[in-house]
Structure 1
């Protein structure tokens, strides 16, 4: 059977293959001019008309509407779900390969499924830290969403792009995109669900720690107030059992059951994904100096509990403890701040990025507050920050902030040479390379 990309192409191809005229296909129910409009792409048949045409053309309605037969479609749907499970609970690199295979198989035959597979591949690239390639993929999808809103929603793509630019160190573009996403979400009163939670996380991550209340932060607060930071129950065993059962059903050619089991596995992991994203949002909110102390402490504690309850989240658990320690410093409780920072150091012995250095900076601040000697912690923080090299986790803004704090602390102990050197490093970190060096994207952001 022909498998051209549009309904009109398929109607015309099947009609010519059966040596039918447009009048013969129209029959007594339709006009030949209406058939002509469908074939030229100027009309889309209603479900009733599609069933009628499919019957006369000797194909399924599914094939006429989507370009693939029911079995092909369900196999593609199953492939999308298994790739999603791989992305969320397995290996993002494997997920990217599976999404790519779906794109190759479904290309031009089902535009919607292909677009969803390309979106999944972009997210898999992001999960691997391949930010330049992820941004290129998301940018192309955004342009496609603007031209074909029936295939993909623009809002999740804008949020994903903001997140990628933020992690790559382009904070201004991240804020611009997050602001545009907020305008769209506000127009539709979206304050709950996955899109709202992802948007809140993108908005607060793009803010500076010393930023005052703004429309963006007001939205974040509304999302947190509605959703809170829920407790997480570890369902990883259930998820993997359902995933394996789905694979077994697929191997036995029971595709419908395989899809159902895969959906159950995805839904089982949804609560944890949302809870983790809310915990990240709460952690960043608690870090804001404008956040009221009581609220900041409550959210930092909730974030730490969530990360502690999820396997494999030691790095984020440690980071949340550091944020909580900083809140305790604001509350003039250096003893508790020191205990939290020490706990973070136990969780993060070899973590990349700035987290371990931050813990030592907190410990140095505590030592100064209690009349102790901060030299050991200052030296360790300086060594860690100086040895970051290219194994970066987080933005260069974080490194700049740590160098600046290190300079402030050296100033407090009277070491002017180290203070000057730390401030110089802060300036260098603020202007260093982007993780997307060499990437060319459009300078404009489409609405």
Structure 2
């Protein structure tokens, strides 16, 4: 286990256990007063001095500086990598537990390792949907980053908090954090890599107003620079490397285990980036539906590329269906109601009977396409009723606010209004408010669609 205390505590403890005086430890190379300053914490030994002291005290330099032996440190590093693999390709709840165990093992003497483990745990909480706990963890880390910038960088934490606050419904806080991060990123001229892509994802969710706003301009620039790269499904290779790393660790070959784990993480990175950029492209395409034709054409290319990314991964069926719905909306905006209806049908086929907001939205698109073709309002209303039933099923499963479901209810209310179903319209708008976390709407009141937006 790691030694408690500071470097000075370890030097003093080892010196006393070996019944050495400060002068004996100093020897001919150092002064006893300098040793005293190190033990009192007033001086930090240089790497050369640390090696010299470690030799005289009969320990490793690693232990003297960090309170942990080399084998313990590499095992902790391996634990971090296996927890990361669990987060990216396994179970986020298991990842959170493993990161938590590393925090306990690393301790305060190994502040860098402990900080990285706490960051991993915060990300795992977010991946589980435990947004409140994730916000609390990220906020603590951000305070630590302000006090100890050598341990943690503030910028990724700011981006993560913006994303979490947006999902928690605190749009103003999310927008402020994203704007702060954008200022930093612009100063660095950063347009590639995970931080830039994560910020673009946060901005496209939090920005409102003109497509020429600084945030959305940055999103467009990120998409122009990075595009939506193709992704190869290398899941089997990742798990094979992961299993080999575990086997190497069990054989006490920690160095090889770390190398294999690094290979597994690196193998999965291109697909993770492609998924993130595909999500940004789809969010941008949703905004572009209401823009000019040139913008819609560019958005259609991006959405098509995003759809191709998801199509290669069976576990991304929901995202693939969502991309088809976005493409259907773009077709509707261009007046191609038949093409929109076909794409919405393909989305439902992709979902294979699974319920959710995407399937409900696909039915809304089919109803809107029918209205555009001049179908009788009553026939379109039947399709809207199917969407309503799907959303009602979700209402019993989710008790927390959900912006996506609120948006679909609001769109359902808009379409009920178009077919003249006033009762359905009022009920849908009320459900939109409830899904957004507003549950005190007066029974019987007529809700304007703008309130649910």
TM-score by length of 1: 0.90
Q: Does 1:241 align with 2:237?
A: no
Report 1 or 2 for greater relative contact order, CA contacts < 8 Å, sequence distance ≥ 6: 1
CA distance in 2, matches of 1:349, 1:175: 37
Out of 357, 362, 371, which is 2:360 matched to? 357
User: Alpha carbons of 1:386 and 1:24: their partners in 2 closer, same or farther (altered >3 Å)?
Assistant: same
CA distance in 1, matches of 2:331, 2:250: 55
User: Alpha carbons of 1:290 and 1:30: their partners in 2 closer, same or farther (altered >3 Å)?
Assistant: farther
The aligned counterpart of 1:313 is 316
Is the contact made by 1:99 and 1:121 (CA closer than 8 Å) also made in structure 2? yes
Partner-residue secondary structure (3-state), 1:123: helix
Is the contact made by 2:400 and 2:435 (CA closer than 8 Å) also made in structure 1? no
Query: Deviation at 1:244?
Result: 1.2
User: Alpha carbons of 1:24 and 1:186: their partners in 2 closer, same or farther (altered >3 Å)?
Assistant: farther
The CA deviation string for residues 204-224 of structure 1, in whole angstroms up to 9 with x for no partner, is 12234x653211111112211
User: Alpha carbons of 1:15 and 1:185: their partners in 2 closer, same or farther (altered >3 Å)?
Assistant: farther
The CA deviation string for residues 200-257 of structure 1, in whole angstroms up to 9 with x for no partner, is 111112234x653211111112211111111011111111111111111111111111
Per mean C-alpha deviation after superposition, the further-off stretch among 294-303 and 121-130 is: 121-130
The aligned counterpart of 1:284 is 283
Per mean C-alpha deviation after superposition, the further-off stretch among 51-60 and 414-423 is: 414-423
Is the contact made by 1:211 and 1:290 (CA closer than 8 Å) also made in structure 2? no
The aligned counterpart of 2:444 is none
Query: Deviation at 1:190?
Result: 2.0
Q: Does 1:193 align with 2:196?
A: no
Per mean C-alpha deviation after superposition, the further-off stretch among 183-192 and 257-266 is: 183-192
The aligned counterpart of 2:450 is none
Is the contact made by 1:349 and 1:356 (CA closer than 8 Å) also made in structure 2? no
The aligned counterpart of 2:395 is 389
Query: Deviation at 1:116?
Result: 1.1
CA distance in 2, matches of 1:305, 1:6: 54
CA distance in 2, matches of 1:134, 1:242: 29
Is the contact made by 1:2 and 1:13 (CA closer than 8 Å) also made in structure 2? no
Matches within 5 A, 1:162-173: 162-173=162-173
Out of 341, 345, 348, which is 2:344 matched to? 341
Partner-residue secondary structure (3-state), 1:136: helix
Q: Provide the aligned length of Structure 1 versus Structure 2.
A: 432
Is the contact made by 2:282 and 2:306 (CA closer than 8 Å) also made in structure 1? yes
Matches within 5 A, 1:235-274: 235-274=234-273
Is the contact made by 2:2 and 2:68 (CA closer than 8 Å) also made in structure 1? no
The aligned counterpart of 1:402 is 408
Out of 305, 321, 326, which is 1:323 matched to? 326
The CA deviation string for residues 160-194 of structure 1, in whole angstroms up to 9 with x for no partner, is 22222222332222222222222222222222111
CA distance in 2, matches of 1:10, 1:394: 50
Report which of the two has the higher share of helix. 2
Q: Does 1:332 align with 2:331?
A: no
The aligned counterpart of 2:418 is 412
Query: Deviation at 1:140?
Result: 1.5
CA distance in 2, matches of 1:178, 1:406: 31
Q: CA RMSD in A?
A: 2.2
Matches within 5 A, 1:125-274: 125-208=125-208, 211-274=210-273
TM-score by length of 2: 0.89
Is the contact made by 1:396 and 1:432 (CA closer than 8 Å) also made in structure 2? no
CA distance in 1, matches of 2:170, 2:392: 22
CA distance in 2, matches of 1:42, 1:154: 28
User: Alpha carbons of 1:169 and 1:387: their partners in 2 closer, same or farther (altered >3 Å)?
Assistant: farther
Q: Does 1:368 align with 2:374?
A: no
CA distance in 1, matches of 2:314, 2:232: 11
CA distance in 2, matches of 1:251, 1:428: 51
Query: Deviation at 1:286?
Result: 0.8
Is the contact made by 1:354 and 1:398 (CA closer than 8 Å) also made in structure 2? yes
Partner-residue secondary structure (3-state), 1:319: helix
CA distance in 1, matches of 2:258, 2:178: 34
Is the contact made by 2:400 and 2:437 (CA closer than 8 Å) also made in structure 1? no
Matches within 5 A, 1:109-120: 109-120=109-120
User: Alpha carbons of 1:5 and 1:154: their partners in 2 closer, same or farther (altered >3 Å)?
Assistant: farther
Query: Deviation at 1:390?
Result: 5.2
CA distance in 2, matches of 1:290, 1:282: 15
Query: Deviation at 1:2?
Result: 7.8
The CA deviation string for residues 13-60 of structure 1, in whole angstroms up to 9 with x for no partner, is 223333334343333333444334433334332222221222222211
Q: Which runs of 5+ in 2 are unaligned?
A: 440-453
CA distance in 1, matches of 2:220, 2:40: 50
